[in-house]
Chain A
Amino acid sequence: MAILITKQNLSRHSDTLEKVYRLRHRFFVHHKKWETLAKADEREIDEFDTPEAVHIVGLDDSGDISTYTRLLPTTAPHLPSDVYPELLQGNPEPTGPDIWEWTRAAINPFKRDSGKGASRIKGEFYAAVVETCLHLGIRALLVEAHPGLITSAIDVGFHTRPLALPTEYGGEPVVPFFCEVTEATLPRTQEVFGLTTPVLQVDEIGIEAPALERRAG
């Protein structure tokens, strides 16, 4: 199951968010070797972790964090606009209140299911993201990642297209791509991973939709 941490319930989940920042450091700095993110206090937190950020936290039966990912509004500073504009190679970047950037995807390697086939944890991770989009009125996600993840995005049901050719960053190919959520997306995700129930727990808080708020305001 997964929970959303947004500005609406930030105070209630400050402990979890602390665990998130420490998990991010272990995962991205130590496991993925993204040295540029290293922090002396072992908390991986950056300038985009504002109250506007949405954190999707996957929890296992013992309440430990099994997966994590972060969505950032494209109507505020985010990676392609502020840090890596060269990734788009001069191509226009789709932005808007219903387009969010999908960042910091982490599946806890120690929590992964063993064996082949579509792992349940991975499935719940993707389903949580898709369900979040549906709850928050997010039409599409912007991703900068290894080209191999384009296949994953297509597999789980996003209508995906590249925004530029891959370039190299830190010795690895990186490509910006666009994932649209359609009516077919969630059923497809559930079908691929054999999920029959929603993953996201939204009843505990009245989740306001930041995107819809912005449209109204």
Chain B
Amino acid sequence: MKQLYYDVKKCLGCKSCEITCSVAHSLTGELFKAINEEILSLPRKKVLSSQGKNYPVSCRHCKDPKCVDACMAAALVFDQAKGMVMHDETRCVGCWMCVMACPYGAVRPNIKAKIPVRCDKCKDKDEPACVKACPTGAIVWQEEILIEK
């Protein structure tokens, strides 16, 4: 199962990943059209800094996901086969329980869309858009097992 990892030493905090992520999740998929969409596409990851280091903060698809437990609409489900937290937007009521429950602050509200945004690993594509967008190679798309050893 491939996961996203971040080499903090290489991250410059340029936020290219944020922009690419927003565009990749917009309706049109093109920057100059995306910024004019009625409900602005928000990035699924945010680069935050602490003590001089930059950390892209993003959903980790926890195996014991607090957001799924907190979801009062059963819109969130942990898919064992995919190893991912799946979000059914047709069930979501925008109550923000998942935002409140995430211990990483990695689920963010898109208030206008009434939908929480989280990394979906660009599920329809071969690799997440942020990986290619990172100019320093700080975002690593890697099999889980290789890293955790």
Decide whether A and B assemble into one complex: no
A→B interface (CB under 8 Å)? none
